[in-house]
Structure 1
Amino acid sequence: MSAVAACGGGGSGTPAPSPAPSPSPTPVPTPTPAGLYPSYNTSPIAADIAGMSSTAVDIAGRIKAGWNIGNTLEAIGGETAWGNPLISKAYVDFVKASGFDAVRLPAAWDQYANQTTAKIDDAWLDRIKTVIQYCVDAGLYVLLNIHWDGGWLENNVSVDKQDAVAAKQKAFWEQIATHLRDFDEHLMFASANEPNCDTAEKMEVLYRYHQTFIDAVRSTGGKNAYRVLVVQAPNTNIALAGSLWNRMPTDTASNRLMVEVHYYEPFQFTQLQEDASWGRMFYYWGKDNHSTTDPTRNADWGEEDFVDQQMAIMKSQFTDKGIPVVLGEYLASVRKNLTGDAATLNQKSVTYWMKYVTEKAVANGLLPFVWDTGGAIDRRNPAITDPVEINTVLQATGKK
């Protein structure tokens, strides 16, 4: 989820055990403007496959349930600016003990960088490294991205902005990749979060941003020569992935790429907080959860058949071809303003949505990462505060 909005997406089941196909050729991107930022690939080293032998499909097979540490490292104004405490080792250990296999770390970088040189503050790079070490020590896989980050990439997937954005993408990832180069395959990098892209022209620009990311990471060498990298579908939206995505980026490493989508459909049920001109809030979701006394709040689209169709797109387009898909964010939350039977039916609907979406994602090969900003696990004194959500996800992924 970005600081602006969540975008829909979809998933698919367990990736096929066969190796991913070799990436298809793609046009050579327009060179980044010379001299816009210094090169930060100042100490490349020889490729090192020690601890990096697993393919993307191998790693996907080990991730049953993933967890987001949201509204924290990506918070504008600092790690605690959006109300969460500093990420602690105790919290990370608790996430692992609760049954999760991986964490997604949304992160901001631009606010910690010199706006003239794109140099990221060393203290911030060290802080991110510390949090990753907590995760790796706990036996978790880690997916680190450049999140919304003020929108410098997400809001500028456009021909007129692509040179400047690609230059910053290159500068940032050269630094991030170099600083974190020694972690083994438990660490994965993700190019972006929810890039705003909804046309074929913008898709070509997004391909360039992803290619810049891949090339920058690989160029630093060491374990980064083999690290699994994740690239985001347009808007991380399943329908747009189906209509706009026509090739994988090129990669010097074989079978080390995943694709990411998000899922918040129907948005009127999962996220909308007040009626809008384009649609009303839904309180109730699922064939057995429609209200007879409050029918205007029943979902009238986006129910089971829609989930099935969305997940099937990801299966046919990616997972059937040996390309794992990360369902990087998904969540529906109960509405606190309801009481009585309405509250009971809304809770039943939310639980059913979480169960159904998770099960269908897994069945079609997607790796589900629940979005959380501190509401389901207390981060200060680690404890589960929403056992219904946690148990639903873990049961749906076969972890409980």
Structure 2
Amino acid sequence: MTPTPVRRRRLRIGVLAAATVAALTAGLFTAVGAQAAQGCEIDYKVTGQWSGGFNANVEVTNLGDPIDGWALEWAWPDGQRVTKLWSAKDESKADAAKVEGLGHNAKLATGGSTSFGFTGSWTGANTAPAEFRLNGRLCDGTVGEPSEWADAEEQVAAMQPGWNIGNTLDALGGETNWGNPMITEELLQIVRAEGYNSIRLPVTWDEFTGPAPDYTIAPERMERVAQVVDWALANDLQVMLNLHHDSWMWLDELPNDHDNVMAKFESMWAQIAERFKDYPAGLSFESNNEPQFVGKEGDAGEPYNEELNRAFYDVVRASGGNNADRLLVLPTLNTNAEQPRLDPLKTMIEGLDDDMVAATIHYYGFWPFTVNIAGFTTYNEQVQQDLAGYFQRAHDTLVANGIPVIVGEWAVFNYSHWAPERIEQGEMLKFFEDLQFQARENELTTMLWDAGQFLNRETLEWRDPYVAEHLRTEVTSRSGTTSFDRIYLEKAGTIGDESLTLNRNGLEFDGLWHEDKKLKEGADYTVSGDTLTFTAAALTRLAGDRAYGVNAIVEARFSAGTPWRIYIKTNDRPVLSDATGTTTAAFDIPTEFKGDNLATMEAKYADGTNAGPASWTPYQEFGHSFIYDYEAGTIILNTAFLETLKEGEPATLTFHWWGGETITYTVTRTGTIVTGTAS
């Protein structure tokens, strides 16, 4: 019989506790180490009760090793709620109560105690909670290692947040062939220290697999994967191991070569399952990555996805050892969370009647925004609603019915450390902030896709510490933002007051800082409702000699989260020059940027039709059709754009700039020759 949603929600207390422990033990806060002895006792007393309400006092005693930062959780048996709390922080949600220590009582020595009180509400009955968990461990008076997870919900929550080692063991041609160095234990230690509690280990196996009928995986490949898994587990990182690019290299031929594909798939998983069957529960398996099938779009692909997931499940479960109840992760078709993709997987998982099965989806945002096409340059309402709806569907269809969900990959497609401005940084950070908030609200575990664009694996340092800080703090907290993160000042223009809109995200606005000096409200800025206005005097001072580019960085600070940077920039109208090139190489437009930043490019012919490979929109994709090189002083038209130009028909390019300018430029193709003319 499939466990009911009520039972799943009751067990969710452990999920939340595990997630709290994960955060507390991994760099977000200082806390008890993963292998520390844990134990606790709880003295729960109702000190007064009346119709619909009651007072209670809770004493927490730590029996294990000293801890620095604690969270106590319990489930309400009769639907009670905490309405007012003192001497602790209330992080309760629905029928799962969650209370965290404050600064003065966050540390508990061995044998140390602290207490807090609260007022609660009740109807019908006021039965005391049956059990309490402190930092994830059951408070039953015993001392020992942290307990294992009760079910998939607990284990998946303990994975939050997660990180992908992308473009490495999944790379075709060898581990370093896609630009990343070999995985080292030091890398995993850095990831753990940054607060990540799990890694997704994408592995492409095909190039290391022998022919039919045995499809033997090369021992050196298996042992290299095992080495990385060993390092991760030894450093208290859960690992989700999968078949990765195999999904499009040969698995997608399932409809056309059914028996051979299934034989290979089952053989590979049988070998992987056998190699790792005695590994601890911290290792989980994911069926395959982004399943897709040749010629079977939409609903037509569902039977094949289910067949692979069932075969994976049956092979692993039958392999013995710890695989009998290891966490298994099943993807939706294309790892998509549209309703027609969620429903079949829900039905399948419910039919398995197995508490150690989870679902996985991927999310890179509303596609036009995440690749910067069709004019979606900002994190606007349509982009936000796409995110909110995507995660809400996953919650309502799966999580609410006791099936945990892992967002196995998330980021934005077009972000690159080589050209970060493909997506404006502030708009991208708004997306990152809201995604992690929506994930918390919908109880989803997220795994950042990092192919080297965030963490530099050569230096083991974050490429952009400011972005890294957002990623780190917003796992547990909201951050405030403003309507835009830049104020452009024309170099020769008169400086006046400039206004932005505060997006408080439920926080209190604490003011503005420049170089750790607080700006003065009234003299430097004013706040009216949600309108933040910089005074002309403050902007004049901050702009200094008004050199092109960033003159000053002002921080808007809020009551929680990462401070929001506002860049004070000086700019003038950019200047583009004539150029000549060919369709066989990128076309460089000499450009004096003059402190401004390119937002997007529009391309049309004289008859009003669109020019470029994205014929359905005049706004071409940033990075695919065009890009920039600020240091070299060029805007670059890529061959993907040039090859689509109509012979002899001039195309008018309109470059849109964040400083507010629009500049036109004409390109004409004659054979393989391209000429560009500035307007």
Deviation at 1:252, TM superposition (A): 7.2
Which of these residues, 238, 248, 262, is aligned with residue 348 of structure 2? 248
Aligned AA (2:234): D
Give the equivalent residue in structure 1 for 2:196: 100
Q: For residues 353 and 147 of structure 1, what CA distance do their matches in structure 2 show?
A: 26
Conservation of the 8 A alpha-carbon contact between 2:202 and 2:244: yes
Tell me which structure has the larger Cα radius of gyration: 2
Conservation of the 8 A alpha-carbon contact between 1:214 and 1:251: no
- In the TM superposition, 1:171-190 aligns within 5 A as 171-190=267-286
Which of these residues, 19, 42, 59, is aligned with residue 155 of structure 2? 59
Q: For residues 139 and 267 of structure 1, what CA distance do their matches in structure 2 show?
A: 35
- In the TM superposition, 1:68-79 aligns within 5 A as 68-79=164-175
Q: For residues 149 and 416 of structure 2, what CA distance do their matches in structure 1 show?
A: 45
CA pair 144-253 structure 1, distance change in 2 beyond 3 A: farther
Conservation of the 8 A alpha-carbon contact between 1:155 and 1:195: yes
Deviation at 1:377, TM superposition (A): 1.2
Q: For residues 16 and 212 of structure 1, what CA distance do their matches in structure 2 show?
A: 29
Q: For residues 256 and 80 of structure 1, what CA distance do their matches in structure 2 show?
A: 34
Aligned AA (2:225): I
Aligned AA (1:262): H
Give the equivalent residue in structure 2 for 1:199: 298
Deviation at 1:366, TM superposition (A): 1.0
Aligned AA (1:387): P
Structure 1 position 168 matched with structure 2 position 267: no
Aligned AA (1:217): V
Q: Deviations over 1:203-236 (max 9, x none)?
A: 1121111011011111110001110000000110
Structure 1 position 124 matched with structure 2 position 221: yes
| Structure 2 residue matching 1:231: 3-state secondary structure | strand
CA pair 377-208 structure 1, distance change in 2 beyond 3 A: same
Deviation at 1:285, TM superposition (A): 1.6
Query: As a proportion of its length, which structure holds more helix?
Result: 1
Deviation at 1:100, TM superposition (A): 0.4
Q: Which has the higher contact order (CA 8 A, sep 6+)?
A: 1
Conservation of the 8 A alpha-carbon contact between 1:154 and 1:192: no
Aligned AA (1:124): R
Gaps of 5+ in 1: 1-14, 20-50, 288-300
Give the equivalent residue in structure 1 for 2:97: none
Which of these residues, 347, 361, 369, is aligned with residue 447 of structure 2? 369
Give the equivalent residue in structure 2 for 1:38: none
Q: For residues 379 and 224 of structure 1, what CA distance do their matches in structure 2 show?
A: 32
| Structure 2 residue matching 1:100: 3-state secondary structure | coil
Conservation of the 8 A alpha-carbon contact between 1:286 and 1:352: no
Q: Deviations over 1:182-215 (max 9, x none)?
A: 2101000000100116433421121111011011
Conservation of the 8 A alpha-carbon contact between 1:264 and 1:271: no
Q: For residues 71 and 338 of structure 1, what CA distance do their matches in structure 2 show?
A: 18
Q: Deviations over 1:293-352 (max 9, x none)?
A: xxxxxxxx4x1222111111111110001110000001025477989xxx5981100001
Structure 1 position 231 matched with structure 2 position 309: no
CA pair 246-156 structure 1, distance change in 2 beyond 3 A: farther
Query: As a proportion of its length, which structure holds more strand?
Result: 2
Deviation at 1:249, TM superposition (A): 4.2
Deviation at 1:154, TM superposition (A): 4.7
CA pair 345-91 structure 1, distance change in 2 beyond 3 A: closer
Deviation at 1:374, TM superposition (A): 1.2
Which of these residues, 392, 413, 427, is aligned with residue 312 of structure 1? 392
CA pair 317-126 structure 1, distance change in 2 beyond 3 A: same
Q: For residues 182 and 88 of structure 1, what CA distance do their matches in structure 2 show?
A: 23
CA pair 387-157 structure 1, distance change in 2 beyond 3 A: farther
Conservation of the 8 A alpha-carbon contact between 2:254 and 2:262: no
CA pair 54-334 structure 1, distance change in 2 beyond 3 A: same
Q: For residues 17 and 394 of structure 1, what CA distance do their matches in structure 2 show?
A: 29
Which of these residues, 220, 223, 230, is aligned with residue 319 of structure 2? 220
Aligned AA (1:139): D
CA pair 70-335 structure 1, distance change in 2 beyond 3 A: closer
Which of these residues, 266, 277, 282, is aligned with residue 366 of structure 2? 266
Which of these residues, 474, 492, 515, is aligned with residue 396 of structure 1? 474
CA pair 235-150 structure 1, distance change in 2 beyond 3 A: closer
Q: For residues 386 and 66 of structure 1, what CA distance do their matches in structure 2 show?
A: 19
| Structure 1 residue matching 2:252: 3-state secondary structure | coil
Which of these residues, 181, 186, 207, is aligned with residue 85 of structure 1? 181
Conservation of the 8 A alpha-carbon contact between 2:332 and 2:342: no
Deviation at 1:251, TM superposition (A): 8.0
Q: For residues 447 and 456 of structure 2, what CA distance do their matches in structure 1 show?
A: 18
Aligned AA (2:230): Q
Conservation of the 8 A alpha-carbon contact between 1:227 and 1:256: yes
Conservation of the 8 A alpha-carbon contact between 1:66 and 1:367: yes
| Structure 1 residue matching 2:407: 3-state secondary structure | strand
Give the equivalent residue in structure 2 for 1:283: 377
Percent identity, aligned pairs only, is 27
Q: For residues 344 and 88 of structure 1, what CA distance do their matches in structure 2 show?
A: 31
Deviation at 1:283, TM superposition (A): 2.6
Conservation of the 8 A alpha-carbon contact between 2:346 and 2:397: no
Q: For residues 252 and 201 of structure 1, what CA distance do their matches in structure 2 show?
A: 22
* TM-score in terms of structure 2 length: 0.46
Return structure 1 stretches of 4+ with deviation > 4 angstroms: 249-253, 333-339
Q: For residues 219 and 416 of structure 2, what CA distance do their matches in structure 1 show?
A: 42
CA pair 351-210 structure 1, distance change in 2 beyond 3 A: same
Q: For residues 257 and 157 of structure 1, what CA distance do their matches in structure 2 show?
A: 24
Q: For residues 65 and 281 of structure 1, what CA distance do their matches in structure 2 show?
A: 32
Which of these residues, 225, 230, 246, is aligned with residue 133 of structure 1? 230
Aligned AA (2:387): V
CA pair 388-251 structure 1, distance change in 2 beyond 3 A: farther
Q: For residues 324 and 353 of structure 2, what CA distance do their matches in structure 1 show?
A: 7
Aligned AA (2:246): D
Q: Deviations over 1:229-286 (max 9, x none)?
A: 00000110111424554512478783000000000222222236xx5xxxx3633223
CA RMSD of aligned residues (A): 2.6
Aligned length: 331
